[in-house]
Chains A and B, each alone.
Chain A
Amino acid sequence: MAHISITVNGKRHEADVEPRTLLVDFLREHLGLTGTHVGCDTSQCGACTVHLDGRSVKACTVFAVQADGRSVTTIEGMSADGALHPLQEGFREEHGLQCGFCTPGMIMAAADLLQHNPDPSEAEIRHALEGNYCRCTGYHNIVRAVQYAARKMREQATVEA
């Protein structure tokens, strides 16, 4: 067993885990944060995407011990203060989800993009989401949802500035 200390959605968690425990299993099984999903076993689908120190990672490809001493944000942390994140709002407004299984990973991957590129082109959005599969939406409205959020976040940034 390995002792780890991980900050998840702003809250510090201490645990003893098997060294081989995947971060996604730690989040889902140990912490009960089931918003992060598992859709494949080869790191293709991206349903498990979370942020590790602010950058998106596939939590099925990171060991919990690798996150020791670091900070993780999951979908549950995106609306922690009660208000929806612009991406969450955008996915609903633009009908960017259907079954909802890929949605948390999709939102986390898109959030990473918008942190680094506040005004992405359609092609840039599509490329940024290449590691996230969706089988329901045909991606069309996911692109629009990200554009919605980008617009809103830029407006908010302008207001704050």
Chain B
Amino acid sequence: MITCKTSREIGGMGHPIKRKEDIRFIQGKGRYVDDIKLPGMLHMDIVRSPYAYARIKHIDASEALKIPGVVAVVTGKDLEKYNLHWMPTLMSDTQMVLPTDTVMYQAQEVAAVIATDRYTARDAKEAVRVEYEPMKPVVDPYKALEPDAPVLRTDKEGKTDNHIWHWEVGDREKTEAVFRSADVVVKEHMHIPRIHVVSIETCGCVADYDKVNNHLTMYMTTQAPHAIRTVIALVAGHLGLTEEKIRVISPDIGGGFGGKVPVYPGYVIAIAVSFLTGKPVKWIEDRSENLQADSFARDYHITAEMAATREGKILATRFKVLADHGYTDAAANPSKFPTGLFSIGTGSYDYDTAFMEADAVYTNKPPGGVAYRCSFRVTEAVHAIERLTDSMARALGMDPAEFRMKNFIKKEDFPWKSPTGWTYDSGDYHAGLKKAMEVIGYDDLRREQAEKRKKGELMGIGISTFTEIVGAGPSRDFDILGIKMFDSCEIRVHPTGKAIARFGTKSQGQGHETTYAQIIAEELGIPAEHIQVEEGDTDTAPYGLGTYASRSTPTAGAAAAVAARKLRDKARKIAAYLLEVSEEDLEWEPGKFYVKGAPEKAKTIQDIVFAAYTNHPPGMEAGFEATHYYDPPNLTFPSGAYICVVDIDKETFEIKIRRFVAIDDCGNIINPMVVQGQVHGGLTQGLAPAMYEELIYDEDGNILNGTLMDYLVPTAVESPRWETGHTITPSPHHPIGAKGVGESPTVGAPPAIANAIVDALSVYGITHLDIPITPYKIYEALKAKGVIED
């Protein structure tokens, strides 16, 4: 039950108020990067490699340059003169901006053409002749580690293999000892395939360098404008483009999902060209370029094992990962976490022994991988533990719900220390699963399933009870390129009691303009409709690390609450002065201070703010503004209990999701309408990799489904009607008890769906299928089991 402390007029936390940003979007008045048109603007298009691995013998731009309207063709050799042909990745690896001699993946940027309009740029791109000498690529990450594999990163001095890094956590020896003596051990090999975020808006920018003032304005599709400004200064500082001369503007963003965190070569080339020509340069990639070259997500090969007692008590887990990063480690993780927060993979269960290790390799595939609607590799971890939990329940002959209930961390055991070192803040896993089972009618479904099995029909029920880890993060551990992962809010309240609040984060559809205003309304009593929220302009907003990994509410949302509380403290002082009482004699209720025992003696927040500008107490600083940079003491740990029911056609193996119930616990809820919307969207983005999406490469490194004709994004037809609900277990350390919700469904849905499908097929002895689980994959698996013939 959501209770609201504020009136509907104030619209603080818990009110399902309609989104402010919608007014412009529903009328076609959003302002996205491609809507920006500047005088004299040039257009850039990019020549890309048809090969996964090749030497560039020669680039001939002469025909392209003859086309009227073509201004320039830029190659790696041109950028090399300015030392702009390479850039650092967020994981301290290096990446080519444009190659000087070798291409490392199909669709890699080879040259940029600049023209006066977009059509001419496209013509010129077709006219650039590139002569390649193809080489045999390394596509399979296991083969990349074989001793005779060619070393791909010859640009890295002293590199003798394709291994990038090794990572481990937990107690290897203790884990091995537990596994040796355990009653029951299960083991599954799983590939969490390479997928793509496919935000409906692709990536792009308008780089606008003003030669006279030596100033760059960079409009770009970025989820982290401040960090990008610093990165540009680090890459281009030697050209005199120091950080105060750079303004990054992230306008309306048409979905990000982690894909708009990295710095792509196109951005850097556009800046370089604008710097050299002194003209604005627009670069908007098309969808196929976006799918083929921009950061992928996932691509983890996981061997997962669980040990348990005969009675069904989990004793230990062990995960071994091979991470395929493609040509360079361009992941967007906090710097100290090469596998992100994969170590959350011990799950929602109470046991004290675990060991996890991972090795990363280079291959001739596009670089990545981004945290696609996921707090850095949490999706991979949750899939592994939740699939494994089902396998163990099956091996023990236990119902998967009963097995989970038996092993959940108990509500009273929080804060709970995980065997990989995390301190889970709060949770009530039993309540979540119980609610999901009641809503879906679990026991009846199991009875129905037993009946159907007698008739040979394929029906499956899948559960996922996941724990997320979000809100990166506490500065002792979390930084990106050394910058601590705090986030910020600045509130200015105008004399008439209306406010503007600015943040270091950047909404890409999450609804910050509404939900942040609600947090401030909750704390100050100023109606949310009179609080304007602004993000995405580095000249005006306070510094922050941006929006991804469900971090906005845990960090910037907390900053908003703390900044507002600073203002409430000031308001109390002003109220005491105006009412001629001491501060201790005042009580607060949303929107006003009143004298204890004399509620008619009151000053509204509007009276108080006006006084801050017109009649402030002697000795007090005038004005009504506050800023806070919030450094979270811990991460937050949202959780959920999802149950999926599938029916599989016995002849065609078509999978139909009959029902899907998602019970989420994201702590206190700011806007239930927005939370529910986030869950719906995340569930469809969980359905996508579970049943449809995968970037497929052949042995030559050619992408086989690099357009939306072949890469299957679910539509309204594939996506079922979702059933959602919640339990509320506030975060004890977050100022408003919120935890973040955007990613839970993307993380929790795939194993629920996979578990349901495997459950249906378990009658044939199938214990695991890699996602995406397609009818064809089921056909192949049943053929392999001898259930069906060719």
Contacts and interface: CB of A to CB of B under 8 A. Distances in A.
Interface stretch (B336-344, B478-486, B619-627, B708-716): B708-716
Contacts of A76: 27-28
A78 B27 CA distance: 8
B287 A40 contact: yes
B760 to A, nearest CB: 23
Contacts of A107: 26
A42 B716 contact: no
A3 interface: no
A36 B708 contact: no
B200 A134 contact: yes
Interface string A16-42: 001011000100110011111111111
B28 A34 contact: yes
B interface: dominant SS: loop
Interface hub of A32, A89, A93, A140 (most chain B Cβ within 10 A) = A140
A129 B682 CA distance: 19
A99 interface: yes
Interface in B538-556: none
A103 interface: yes
Nearest to B24: A100
Interface string A79-123: 100001000110111010111111110010000000000000010
B677 A101 contact: no
A23 to B, nearest CB: 14
A70 interface: no
Contacts of A132: 715-716
Contacts, number: 180
Interface residues of A, number: 60
Nearest to A76: B28
A135 interface: yes
A125 B719 CA distance: 12
Given A137-B681, A141-B680, A97 B28 contact: no
A38 B31 CA distance: 13
Contacts of B681: 98, 135-138
Nearest to B201: A101
Contacts of A95: 18-19, 673-674, 676-677
B207 to A, nearest CB: 19
B28 A35 contact: yes
Interface string A37-60: 111111011010000000000000
A2 B281 CA distance: 28
B449 interface: no
A138 B199 contact: no
A136 B715 contact: no
Given A39-B201, A135-B200, A139-B684, A98 B719 contact: no
Given A92-B26, A93-B18, A133-B200, A139 B716 contact: yes
Contacts of A155: none
Given A37-B32, A99-B255, A101-B200, A92 B23 contact: yes
A100 B708 contact: no
A14 interface: no
A142 interface: yes
B491 to A, nearest CB: 25
A158 B73 CA distance: 62
Nearest to A91: B26
18 contacts: A34-B28, A41-B287, A42-B287, A44-B709, A76-B27, A89-B26, A98-B681, A99-B509, A100-B252, A101-B201, A103-B25, A126-B715, A130-B715, A130-B717, A133-B715, A135-B255, A135-B685, A137-B680
Interface of B: 18-19, 21-32, 34-35, 37, 118-119, 197-202, 252-255, 257, 286-288, 508-511, 673-674, 676-678, 680-685, 707-709, 713, 715-717, 719, 721-722
